[in-house]
Amino acid sequence: GDSVTQMEGPVTLSEEAFLTINCTYTATGYPSLFWYVQYPGEGLQLLLKATKADDKGSNKGFEATYRKETTSFHLEKGSVQVSDSAVYFCALSDRNTGTASKLTFGTGTRLQVTL
Amino acid sequence: NAGVTQTPKFRVLKTGQSMTLLCAQDMNHEYMYWYRQDPGMGLRLIHYSVGEGTTAKGEVPDGYNVSRLKKQNFLLGLESAAPSQTSVYFCASSYGLSGNIQYFGAGTRLSVL
């Protein structure tokens, strides 16, 4: 079945540091890939997505590129802020026609940014 | 701008008690989902619905029932709560097919003693 593996946290960085959170996936089909973010006490919200190989999703300074050859979708940001402290989830959605948009999530990576 | 609303936000149950979690969305989405979130396990799909009057099992359906009598509402029921069902429950909705964005509620924190 489909699965998503992401690096374990917590990740602690100083403000303005570079961020990478690794994510690799296994899928039987040709999935769409997502990063969701969960701020403390809130539900998940979409951060960015990519639907085909070599697509780059970007939002709020975060980027991730769909790498089919390495089955990866690593999240990066050049300069993190304290307000980026949250839990980040990598997820995939199988592309089988006619199925609901079921998401398979990674276990989440907690990011803490300090001054 | 309500989006997806879950009630209640917190609940404590004793083993064997029953309860229903309510999810309501105002985006006219066809698809709705219930997930549970446990430490170190990410989110796992419990049940989902592809439209009014339909439901289907997800990854971890045992011990839960669902109903979608109205398009905007998706109910999750626990008939006889067990400590293993202590978790944070999230409802989500989407327009539909694979690749579409899911919108999440703020969650319900449930403790079963």
- Euclidean distance between CA atoms B78 and B99, whole angstroms: 30
Residue B48, H or E segment: strand B43-49
- Sign of dihedral through CA atoms B24, B39, A7, A92? negative
Of A31, A42, A102, the CB nearest to B45: A102
Q: Is the pLDDT of residue B36 over 60?
A: yes
What local confidence, expressed as pLDDT, does residue A100 receive? 57
Q: Do A99 and B105 touch (CB under 8 A)?
A: no
Select the residue from A30, A97, A103, A109 to test the B interface by mutation, using most B Cβ atoms within 10 A: A103
Closest Cβ–Cβ partner in A31, A44, A96 for B90? A44
pLDDT tens for each residue of A13-56: 999 999 999 999 998 878 899 999 999 888 899 999 998 899 99
pLDDT range class, residue B2, cuts 50, 70, 90:
confident
State how far the Cα of A49 lies from the Cα of B100, in Å rounded to an integer: 10
Say what percent of chain B tops pLDDT 90: 84
Cβ of B99 and A96 within 8 Å?
Answer: no
Q: Give pLDDT tens digits for A77-109.
A: 999 999 999 999 999 987 654 555 678 899 999
